[in-house]
Copies of this chain bind each other. A is one copy, B any other.
Amino acid sequence: MSIVVVGSVAYDAIKSPSGSCPRCLGGAATYFALAASYFTQVRVVAVVGEDFNQQDENVLRSRKVDTRGIEHAKGKSFFWSGEYGENLNEAKTLDTQLNVFQAFDPKVPQEYLDSEFLFLANIDPVLQGNVRRQMNGATRLVGGDTMNYWITEAQHRQNLLQTLKGVDVLLINDSEAKMLARETSVPRAAQKVLQMGPRALVIKHGEYGATVFFKEGEFGGGRHPFRAPALPLEEVRDPTGAGDSFAGGFMGYIASQGELDRDVFKRAMFYGGVMGSFAVERFGTERLQSLTRTEIDGRYQTFRELTHIG
């Protein structure tokens, strides 16, 4: 089964204590698409500028990602520059140039409309809603992401709350969940967010893994949450895109399965962690470009050994 992702395809300039990458292929949709491509057919909806290399488009194509939905507009591609300190938890943004992304009006190509899975990466919730509506009745599961900017500003928040009604699985981090629910406790925030529309909520805890919370009765089970670890990595080179890679592994694995049940979600949480752990080992999307399913399943076993009692 195939999955459509809408979001940014961009260039990043990244510095971390392990080195730097002055012009890396980046963007949420890129990380997501590469990570998900190891599990299922991925179709991208995005916009790039005239500076976008054929070579970078080929990175996606060589992973058999459908790029027909990438619009080529006049101007420059979205550009982000950030720097990580010794504590790799958060990047200091040095520069953000929206460029062609500013006027992004995503259009889902006719050829994509039979996709059963959709992922709305972190963009304006109005655009997320537009894309959701463009998909036809084939859609079985909609995943989504968002960020503090859309959560806190009053008008954006209204738009976001509207969009969340059409999102089945929301993937956000601890601070976003607390901000969205206006709660100080993550488990309480989870229950509030599940009242806003999503049937499942994945809260990412960075180096500590992620927890999925379910609405009672959804996906064939009760309210019991499930927690997946992150790998205790001695060297994280570049945390950029870890969350999007998690989402790609998570949604990609789900899309590869016939059933939408708890066992599928649990394994998807592990595959999400696996893809996030690969992404941060090298700069940009480099590590995600040349994995094998054997390497991925090997690391999945490592995740099992890290958490399972024999």
Contact = CB atoms under 8 A, between A and B. Distances in A.
A304 B309 CA distance: 8
Interface size grouping (class) on chain A: 35 or more
A222 to B, nearest CB: 10
Contacts of A267: 309
A187 B225 contact: no
B86 A184 contact: yes
B232 A187 contact: yes
Contacts of A205: 208
Given A188-B234, A232-B186, A232-B187, A224 B305 contact: yes
Contacts of A227: 209, 229, 232, 306-307
Contacts of A213: 232
B185 A236 contact: yes
Contact of A308 (B190, B209, B309): B309
B310 A234 contact: no
Nearest to A209: B208
A138 interface: no
Contact of A309 (B233, B266, B302, B310): B266
A226 interface: yes
A87 interface: yes
Nearest to A262: B310
Interface of A: 86-88, 184-188, 190-191, 205, 207-209, 211, 213, 224-229, 232-236, 263, 266-267, 270, 302, 304-310
